[in-house]
Structure formats: C-alpha cells, structure tokens
Amino acid sequence: MNLLVNTEGCREALIALEDGTVLRGRGFGAPGEAFGEIVFNTSMVGYQEIVTDPSYAGQIVTFTYPQLGNYGITSTDAQSERPRLRGVVAHDVCRTPSNWQCVQSLPDYIAQSGVVGIEDVDTRALTLRIREAGAMRAAISTVDLDPKSLLSRVRSSAGIGDHNYVADVSCDGPRVVHARGEERHHVVAYDCGMKEGIVEHLAQAGCEVTVVPWDTPAEDALALHPDGVFFSNGPGDPTSVPHVPDAVRTVLGKLPVFGICLGNQMIALAAGGSIQKLPYGHHGGNEPVMNLLTGRVEVTAQNHNYGVVFPSLGRLVPELSGGVAEHPADGDLRAWSRARIAPVVRNERYGRIRLTHVNLNDGTPEGLQFLDVPAFAVQYHPEARPGPNDSAYLFESFARLMDGRDDYLAIDVREGRCR
C-alpha cells in the first residue's frame, strides 16, 4: 500500500510494518523516528487518556476513529505526567481544537514529549493488516523516507518482550493519595504503570493509597501495615518483569489482594499459571465481558496484548463447575458464559481459583477469584479513563473484600457506576 499525501508545508513521513506494509503520509508531533510494537485502539473519544496511559509504553497506537484532536488537550484528563507511547497513527488530526477546557492542541502536546505521529494514512486498511498479521514491530519516520531502508531497520529492531517497560514508567519513590471522604482502608499500590484514574477510584472507595515503585520488596510493603495490596496495570510482556510475581506470592494469603490488567497477569504467574500473547490484543472502550457471578454483561475499557491461560492454573473441580471435568478443548471460555457457570480449578499453590469474567468477543479469561485466600483480579480497566463505567463497582468490591465480606464480587453493575 502506498498513499500519497505530502501536503504543502508539512513534513512527509513513512510508517513501515515488519510484514512489509509501508504507508506514506505526513508527520505531526515531533520530527524524527519511533520504533515499537503497533496496535490499534477502537475508542471514539479519550485520546488524551490513551496517549498518556503508561500501558502503551513501547507501542505505536493506530486510532481507528477517523478524526483525532478535535477537543484538544485539557489540564485534567492525563493519566500520567506525559505521553508514554512511542508513536501515534491517525487519519486526520485537528490543529485548531474547539473546547472551553482546551489548553493545547494534540500535535503540540505530543511534540513536547518527543512523540512522533503520522496522519493522512488509511487507518482502516492498516487496522485490517494488524488484525490479519497480529501486533508486530513497526516504525514511523520523518527522516528515513526510503521504504526499503526503513523496513529493513524495523525487521532488525527489538521486540516488545526484549525490554522491561514497567521499570521505565513506574514511580521513583512512594507517594500517598488520601481517601476521598471517610477513610475505610489503607492500601499499598504497586505502580507497574498505574493510571491516575485508578488511584482516584481507589481513593473514592475510601482508601488511603500508598503508591510504591514496581520493585518494592514485599516485606517493605507489609511493613506499612496496609489492609490490602493492589497490583496495577502496566506495559509490555509480563514475563519480562521480575520481582512483581515474587511480591504477589509473599502477600497472597496474608492480606486481601486486587490486580488489574498486568496485575492480573502477575497474580496468575505467582500461582504458577502461564501467559499467552493475543494475536492483536484488546485496545478500546467497547469490549463486552460477562460477570459469571451475576450474569450481567459489562462493556469494558481494555488495553493489553497478553492474557492469562485459565487451564494452566489447575484442573477443573467438577462439583464446583457444573459437573464439567475437562476444560474446553478449543480454549474458548464462552461456553461457561452460555452455561451461566463460573468454573473453579484446583491450584497447587493457593487452592481453589474461580473464573469470574469472560470476554464475549473471543472467549478469553477476564477475571479470577481466589476462594481460599482473599484475592481477585480482572484483565480490563474498570476506572474507565477513557471508557464506560460498567465495571467501576470493582473498587467497591476491593473495599468489601477488605471488610471481610464473602460476597464482595456479587455487585450489580448499576451500583458501581460513576456519578
């Protein structure tokens, strides 16, 4: 594919994918080059939250919505102090936004952080290529405009799993975020690339949150005498991140534990489970997920390329899994949603683990609940920054788990919606 767009007054740019796809467009943001793993995001709004989400470190994000930047950048919507992704791909970018809260245009905003962008490319065709070939190495360049040269350099670049991106985006030292209203609990939150919206929701649930760096020894976290421990979202391949599974193993069984996204994967690794890379991941604000405990379907915000392999956590317990003794042969967990069963496996380390949430698009696992130790986790982002509010109840679930309630996950989605 080769789309000629060299608009007068704007620098020409190329984007190359390792499968040989090369698109020509025009640059915006910072001049230069960006190498990373290319993915696509299907959200229609919330581009500021997306470009500042630390989970995108090491990645180039293609926005499927055709126009980007219409309402500019606000002073309140960022999920970290600056953009964290490697590059931005768009069809049409607005340089003159209109919004009473706007303080800056999107091109100027990403340029300040050295983020390279390319527009005037066919993002529909590009998204189809990623769906067909999977997430892959890619590059955007405004300096190397030779397709063969750029493609060769892409194919020799490092993969997303070759680097620990969590270490790049975690905080440098502890900080405290006070509870909003009456304080119910004190939580230590491991910052593996945590979004500000997650911290805010924990605080809104009545938690004083002590945020600590990703590599904090579990003994140091326990010395703070928290009521619970939280493991956050974050970027990259979870198997390239040391220390965190060890911290999970140390605290599981001692205190209530909650994990989101990368935190979910870390909890599974701590339990001896395995992780798989999804073909092109889940990135957007419209992923349907069934809560197997309530039968409710939640429309969720997600951002991950890796997921837990549920059968790797143990063999099914038939008497707790509707009489079923074998995992689905095709790995599609939607059979459990159709049967309205939340299956349970026997784990060698932590006893019984229940599957609580299933993705209705592809049948991948989206939530786990430990039945013999106080812990649960989900693969998606319930804080909705950006995205729908259907899963915001999970922060209240964590508070109820720390209260000692057994029914902490059985909350109707309507109870937890943001007000």
Annotated binding site: 55, 234, 236, 262, 265, 303, 306
**Short-list 315, 292, 279, 256, CA closest to 366:** 292
Which of 91, 243, 327, 381 is flagged as catalytic?
381
Count CB atoms within 10 A of the CB of residue 176: 9
Q: Are the C-beta atoms of residues 184 and 54 closer than 8 Å to each other?
A: no
| Residue 119 annotated among the catalytic residues of the structure | no
Which of 185, 261, 282, 357 is flagged as catalytic?
261
349: phi then psi, degrees, rounded to nearest 5: -95, -40
| Structure-token match 């500042």, residue found | 52
250: phi then psi, degrees, rounded to nearest 5: -70, -40
Q: What share of the chain is helix, strand, coil (3-state, %, to 5)?
A: 25, 30, 45
Q: DSSP string spanning 63-115?
A: E-SSEE-TT-B-SS--SSSS--BSEEE-SEE-SS---TT--B-HHHHHHHTT-
| Residue 383 annotated among the catalytic residues of the structure | yes
CA distance 232 to 287: 20
Count CB atoms within 10 A of the CB of residue 101: 11
Query: Residues at the annotated binding site for L-glutamine?
Result: 55, 234, 236, 262, 265, 303, 306
Q: Are the C-beta atoms of residues 95 and 72 closer than 8 Å to each other?
A: no
Residue 153's contacts (CB-CB under 8 Å, 6 or more residues apart) are 35, 139, 144
DSSP 8-state symbol, 159: P
CA distance 333 to 361: 10
In DSSP terms, 141 is beta-bridged to 14, 33
Q: Which residues are catalytic?
A: 261, 381, 383
